[in-house]
């Protein structure tokens, strides 16, 4: 029996991916576990493995294709003893529900007078619109959202996708022909006003005075998640200044005492950010009411502190997670953070290495930013924005003194973390930073 190869969902937020390259060609024998192709997601480059044995009968999506929807058929494997050429000519059935690579193809009947005629592809379940005037409309989620924002009547749009499905370019084309395309008057939205379509924005600039750079999947996903977070999470912010003099002295002593490897290089080099990760993890354990995640049904109270670390990569941002950071030494956190950051920039992280987490650290201090407020990264309930450390005049025991001060701002999800709880968390964090020996006990 032949099997479909589907575009896999490599993370909960993934809706589509880029088929970077095929590692097998049509006619190649396939064994279970063989790597068939490489998929580029918004976060990383992943491999698609075969779940069954057979022959790669047909490649339906060529390598280099961008924005392939999750669960679309990208190829087909012929089963043992089957003729790959015959199977590739039969026509394929698009799965109408979520499946995995290796889902069997459904049997098809030829139409009278049309031997081996391919059956039509079944439209994806998520694209199904409600019946209107007795006729079903099929539209992608993005097309539905754009039509709602612009007040465009979907019944007036002709779809160019599979089986007449309405996709993004159909909406854009219809808007370009407005008002003839059926744009109706819409009441002002109750929520935030959506951004104008790209064509309206371009009209504000002189033609030829700008360059258009298409959004890649990472930028699109970041934009969507940040807008959702800013609109749906009730943020509040708490700021504090931390005296780093004791921490810097301890850091210098620990780095000086680091053992050397065979090449003579230190086996670790602890940064201020490593202390921040450790201090925030310990603070979450000591203030367990802040170590939570909000859901509509329940509050998830975590037993360990998984701390994400914001890493800038070409085209966007990713937050690999140091798991159970409260249990790890500073040297272990340092080495793990460096490894995660390097693999993040190479887009080699596994989904479980950047999903979830209790909180996150976003540090712009190395860029000279004194202070800032960060947007919470769902499903986390807090994020700590770390600014640059610098010498300032302070009053110590009634006398002026100079100290190295670092400003931090804690963003909290008010549904999960109340003001007093957030203040306690930041107070414990500040105490650990200013008395860093407590992190070593």
pTM of the model: 0.64
Residues 6+ apart with CB under 8 A from 371: 239, 385, 387, 407, 408, 409
Measured between alpha carbons, how far is 339 from 333 in angstroms, rounded to an integer?
Answer: 10
Instruction: Let me know: does 227 contact 192? Beta carbons within 8 Å.
Output: no
| β 65-69/16-22 pair status | antiparallel
Residues 6+ apart with CB under 8 A from 100: 6, 8, 51
Which residues partner with 409 through β-bridges? Answer: 239, 385
Measured between alpha carbons, how far is 406 from 389 in angstroms, rounded to an integer?
Answer: 4
Q: Residue 379's pLDDT is what?
A: 92
Provide the 10 A C-beta neighbour count for residue 116.
11
Domain parsing of the chain, residue ranges: 3-105, 127-200, 223-439
Q: Residue 218's pLDDT is what?
A: 76
Cis upstream peptide for 49 (omega within 30°): no
Q: Residue 340's pLDDT is what?
A: 95
Q: Residue 397's pLDDT is what?
A: 87
Among 416, 425, 218, which residue's Cα sits nearest to residue 317? 218
Measured between alpha carbons, how far is 25 from 130 in angstroms, rounded to an integer?
Answer: 40
Q: Which CATH number fits domain 3-105: 1.10.10.10, 2.60.40.10, 2.40.50.100, 3.40.980.10?
A: 2.40.50.100
Measured between alpha carbons, how far is 389 from 282 in angstroms, rounded to an integer?
Answer: 22
Instruction: Let me know: does 20 contact 64? Beta carbons within 8 Å.
Output: yes
Measured between alpha carbons, how far is 426 from 290 in angstroms, rounded to an integer?
Answer: 10
Residues 6+ apart with CB under 8 A from 249: none
- Dihedral over alpha carbons 98, 99, 103, 106 (to 10 degrees): -10
- Indicate left, alpha or beta for 38 from its phi (over 0: left) and psi (-120 to 50: alpha): beta
Task: Supply the DSSP symbol for 184.
Answer: P
Residue stretches of the chain with pLDDT short of 50: 91, 93-134, 179-190
Q: Residue 154's pLDDT is what?
A: 78
Instruction: Please count the residues of the chain.
Output: 441
Task: Supply the DSSP symbol for 264.
Answer: S
Structure tokens belonging to residue 200: 């309206």
The answer to whether 163 is a known catalytic residue is no
Reported as half-sphere exposure (CB side, CA atoms, 13 A), residue 217 has a value of 21
DSSP 294-313: E-SS-EEE-SS--EEE-EEE
SS3 category, 247: helix
Q: Residue 21's pLDDT is what?
A: 87
Query: Which one of 163, 235, 367, 414 is the catalytic residue?
Result: 414
Q: Residue 103's pLDDT is what?
A: 40
Name the CATH architecture for the domain at 127-200: Irregular (4.10)
Residues 6+ apart with CB under 8 A from 273: 309, 337, 361, 363, 386
Instruction: Express each pLDDT in 250-306 by its tens digit.
Output: 999 999 999 999 999 999 999 999 999 999 999 999 999 999 999 999 999 999 999
Cis upstream peptide for 149 (omega within 30°): no
Q: Residue 200's pLDDT is what?
A: 78
Measured between alpha carbons, how far is 20 from 46 in angstroms, rounded to an integer?
Answer: 10
Name the CATH architecture for the domain at 223-439: 2-Layer Sandwich (3.30)
């Amino acid at each position: 029996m032949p099997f479909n190869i589907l575009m896999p969902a490599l993370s909960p937020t993934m809706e589509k991916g880029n088929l970077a390259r095929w590692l097998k060609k049509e006619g190649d024998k396939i064994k279970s576990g063989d790597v068939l192709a490489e998929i580029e997601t918004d976060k990383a480059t992943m491999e698609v493995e075969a779940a069954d044995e057979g022959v790669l009968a047909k490649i339906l999506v060529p390598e280099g294709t961008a924005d392939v929807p999750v669960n679309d058929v990208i190829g087909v494997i012929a089963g043992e003893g089957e003729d790959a050429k015959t199977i590739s000519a039969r026509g394929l059935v698009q799965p109408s529900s979520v499946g995995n690579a290796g889902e069997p193809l459904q049997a098809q009947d030829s139409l009278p007078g049309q031997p081996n005629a391919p059956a039509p592809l079944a439209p994806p379940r998520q694209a199904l619109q409600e019946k209107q005037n007795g006729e079903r409309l099929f539209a992608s989620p993005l097309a539905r959202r754009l039509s709602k924002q612009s007040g465009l009547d979907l019944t007036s749009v002709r779809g160019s996708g599979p089986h007449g499905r309405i996709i993004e370019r159909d909406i854009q084309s219809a808007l370009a022909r407005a008002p003839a395309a059926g744009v109706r008057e819409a009441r002002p939205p109750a929520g935030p006003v959506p951004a104008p379509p790209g064509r309206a924005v371009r009209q504000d600039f002189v033609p030829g005075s700008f360059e258009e750079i298409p959004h890649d999947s990472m930028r699109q996903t970041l934009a969507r998640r940040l807008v959702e977070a800013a609109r749906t999470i009730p943020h509040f912010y708490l700021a504090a200044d931390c005296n780093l003099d004791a921490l810097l002295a301890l850091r210098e002593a620990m780095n000086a005492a680091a053992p050397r490897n065979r090449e003579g290089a230190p086996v670790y080099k602890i940064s201020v950010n490593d202390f921040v990760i450790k201090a925030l993890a310990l603070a979450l354990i000591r203030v367990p009411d802040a170590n939570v995640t909000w859901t509509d049904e329940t509050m998830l109270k975590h037993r360990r502190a998984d701390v994400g670390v914001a890493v800038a990569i070409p085209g966007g941002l990713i937050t690999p997670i140091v798991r159970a950071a409260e249990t790890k030494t500073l040297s272990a956190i340092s080495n793990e953070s460096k490894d995660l950051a390097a693999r993040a920039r190479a887009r080699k992280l596994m989904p479980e290495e950047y999903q979830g987490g209790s909180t996150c650290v976003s540090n712009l201090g190395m860029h000279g930013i004194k202070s800032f407020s960060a947007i919470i990264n769902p499903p986390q309930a807090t994020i700590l924005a770390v600014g640059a450390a610098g010498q300032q005049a302070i009053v110590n025991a009634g006398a002026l003194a100079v100290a190295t001060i670092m400003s931090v701002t804690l963003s909290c999800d008010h549904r999960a973390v109340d003001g007093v709880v957030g203040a306690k968390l930041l107070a414990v964090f500040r105490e650990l930073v200013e008395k860093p020996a407590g992190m070593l006990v």
